[in-house]
Amino acid sequence: MPARLLKRFKSRRMTLPPESDCARDTSGTSAPDRNRCWYIKPMLDFWQSLLAALERIAMLPSLIQSVLPTLPSRKRVRDAVRTYDRSMDDLLREIQRLLEAPLDPAKLLQMSGKLHDEFAPKLQASDICMLPSYNDKLPTGREQGTYLALDVGGSTFRVAVVELNGHKPGAKSMRIVNMKSYKIDNSVRYLRGTAFFDWMAEKIEAAITDPQVKTNGTQSFSMGLAWSFPVEQTSIHSGNLLAMGKGFRATEGTLGQDLCELIMAPCRKRNLPVSLDSIVNDSSATLLSRAYEDPATRFAVILGTGFNIAVHLPTSTLAASKYKGYPKKWLDEANHVLVNTELSMFGKNVWPLTRWDEQLLAGHVRPDFQPFEHMISGRYLGEIVRLIIVEAVKTAGLFSGDIPDKLNEPYALDTGTLAAMEMDGSKNFTNAIALFQSKHPLSKPPTYNDIHFVCQISQLVSHRAAAFLAAGIHALWMLRTEAEGLTPATAERLAIGCNGSVIEKYPLFRELCQSHLDELTTASGAEPKSISLEIAVESAIFGAAVAACCLES
């Protein structure tokens, strides 16, 4: 059993009560929940027939309503006698069983093994995953300079002046001197082709001409770009644009074109004093930035809206055809290479799917594109919980059988809302109830039990995600260990840089993942604690600068 933390996690969850008298279903066909004890229905039936009789006699329903103002309205009576297929406890038990079933170590190891089998063909040939970069060495941590770092994420574009100070005494090794953040909403996300890159150039101009942005008298900027999408690199500063997920349309008419030129052309048109010197995927940027501070770093995980892992591998792990067009000098000198695995695209036949996962995929525009991301990323955790909630409302009377505002709409439930609700430490869930009610109002505010149920589901869904992530990391760790000619027992301790809202901020997510990882690595024969997950703050921005800086050293 994973360590203390897992136990703590498990014990904070409600232990399901044994079936109560109220919940016991005497007919054997339906099990009313504990709010609907045996006496409620006859009582309400009584009121309903009394009302109907009075209406029939008097033929003046409105008068009756005014004479008997306390009499339950027909709607209220109807709502109160709604019956459901099952009790909430019964449904919760099923959800728990389905979501926790795949989490025992033997099953996770099996999944890791299957993922590992998927790697081999993609290391041989694939244009969209296991993508090598031109970064062969990791930074020493002594590199210095000032750079303009660009970070194109799923929902923000950030432009920052970044200072790298090496090990200069008294100075932070990396510092954001100034940063401008521009929201990428749907109006930007849907910009087609070059229009998106024009928008980027406009924002770069706005950032570098902003009087608040201290440029230290810099005349021209060397830029590094962290790109949170796949790119087929053709040099350290160029790469062919590959299909973008996350709802972007910038590839329409530009697919396969050079990303550097797409960005630089509108910058030149605006006479901006910038040159794009380095392009890296955001996962590789995270690895570079963390390695700048901790030389034991060999992997990086990004887990926010999107998901990915970068890994530093011996060059020979990838087939020679993956290095088409690389200069001979690079091929002669490099013994390792930073690889963007695009791990989100793996695992189609690995993950056991529940009916809610299947519903999610049935409504997805590209259900086969990123199967791993669908199970664990911030874009989908809220949606899986939403699908469970909708079922619980309809079949078990969650929220008294009413769908909260907007919760019928796909992707309306934000993973951040669930994280904030889970963080509510108050005894009565006061904050969580208020938060949920503010985001998804109900005419009758949610009860403690409703919100407790939602929190329990989101804990189960996020716990499963943390365990699946551990299986993915384990599979890549096995790949790297073998590629280095080591065994789990002889593999050196290594660090993994972690960035992204889910892994950084979702309550207990990283701890749970670490726990499962410890369990899997020791089961494979490694020393305990041979991998540690470490937060890499602002790593895409810092990594973009480190990548640009590494060119000069």
Query: Applying CB under 6 A, which residues contact ligand BGC?
Result: 228-230, 245-246, 281-283, 302, 306-308, 342, 344, 370, 373
**Rounded (to 5) percent helix, strand, coil in the chain:** 45, 15, 35
Compute the least distance from the CB of residue 341 to ligand BGC, in Å.
Answer: 9
Give the Cα separation of 24 and 359 in Å (integer): 30
Compute the least distance from the CB of residue 282 to ligand BGC, in Å.
Answer: 5
Compute the least distance from the CB of residue 305 to ligand BGC, in Å.
Answer: 7
Instruction: Kindly state the DSSP code that residue 258 receives in the 8-state scheme.
Output: B
Residue 241 or 435 with smaller CB distance to ligand BGC: 241
Compute the least distance from the CB of residue 320 to ligand BGC, in Å.
Answer: 24
Compute the least distance from the CB of residue 534 to ligand BGC, in Å.
Answer: 18
- Of 238, 284, 302, 324, the closest CA to residue 135 belongs to 284
Compute the least distance from the CB of residue 547 to ligand BGC, in Å.
Answer: 14
Compute the least distance from the CB of residue 539 to ligand BGC, in Å.
Answer: 11
Compute the least distance from the CB of residue 543 to ligand BGC, in Å.
Answer: 11
Of all residues in the shown chain, the one whose CB is closest to ligand BGC is 306
Residue 283 or 530 with smaller CB distance to ligand BGC: 283
Q: How far is CA 497 from the centre of its chain?
A: 15
Tracing tokens 């409302």 back to the chain, one arrives at 393
Compute the least distance from the CB of residue 340 to ligand BGC, in Å.
Answer: 7
Residue 6 or 343 with smaller CB distance to ligand BGC: 343
Let me know: does 80 contact 46? Beta carbons within 8 Å.
no
Residue 228 or 524 with smaller CB distance to ligand BGC: 228
Residue 91 or 259 with smaller CB distance to ligand BGC: 259
Q: How far is CA 319 from the centre of its chain?
A: 30
Distances (CA, A) of 258 to 213, 224, 251, 421, 440: 29, 15, 11, 43, 44
Give the Cα separation of 317 and 336 in Å (integer): 9
Residue 266 or 304 with smaller CB distance to ligand BGC: 304
Residue 76 or 366 with smaller CB distance to ligand BGC: 366
Residue 87 or 286 with smaller CB distance to ligand BGC: 286
**Phi and psi angles of residue 7, each rounded to the nearest 5 degrees, phi first:** -65, -45
| CA dihedral sign, ordered 546, 550, 552, 553 | positive
Give the Cα separation of 216 and 208 in Å (integer): 12
Q: Which helix (H) or strand (E) holds 487?
A: none
Let me know: does 150 contact 159? Beta carbons within 8 Å.
yes
Compute the least distance from the CB of residue 255 to ligand BGC, in Å.
Answer: 15
Residue 132 neighbours by CB distance under 10 Å: 21
Residue 281 or 317 with smaller CB distance to ligand BGC: 281
Tracing tokens 């989908």 back to the chain, one arrives at 380
Residue 302 or 455 with smaller CB distance to ligand BGC: 302
Give the Cα separation of 266 and 115 in Å (integer): 41
Give the Cα separation of 357 and 362 in Å (integer): 9
First to last CA, the chain: 46
Residue 98 or 503 with smaller CB distance to ligand BGC: 503
Residue 306 or 382 with smaller CB distance to ligand BGC: 306
Compute the least distance from the CB of residue 251 to ligand BGC, in Å.
Answer: 12
- Of 286, 232, 284, the closest CA to residue 259 belongs to 232
- Of 481, 514, 494, 485, the closest CA to residue 295 belongs to 494
Compute the least distance from the CB of residue 344 to ligand BGC, in Å.
Answer: 5
Strand locations in 196-335 (E): 221-227, 231-235, 238-241, 274-281, 297-303, 307-314
The CA-based dihedral angle spanning residues 391, 394, 397, 398, taken in that order and rounded to the nearest 10 degrees: 40
| CA dihedral sign, ordered 235, 236, 241, 243 | positive
**Which three-class secondary structure state does DSSP give residue 498?**
strand
Residue 304 or 488 with smaller CB distance to ligand BGC: 304
**Phi and psi angles of residue 418, each rounded to the nearest 5 degrees, phi first:** -65, -40
**Which three-class secondary structure state does DSSP give residue 451?**
helix
Compute the least distance from the CB of residue 361 to ligand BGC, in Å.
Answer: 16
Distances (CA, A) of 527 to 22, 519, 523: 51, 11, 10
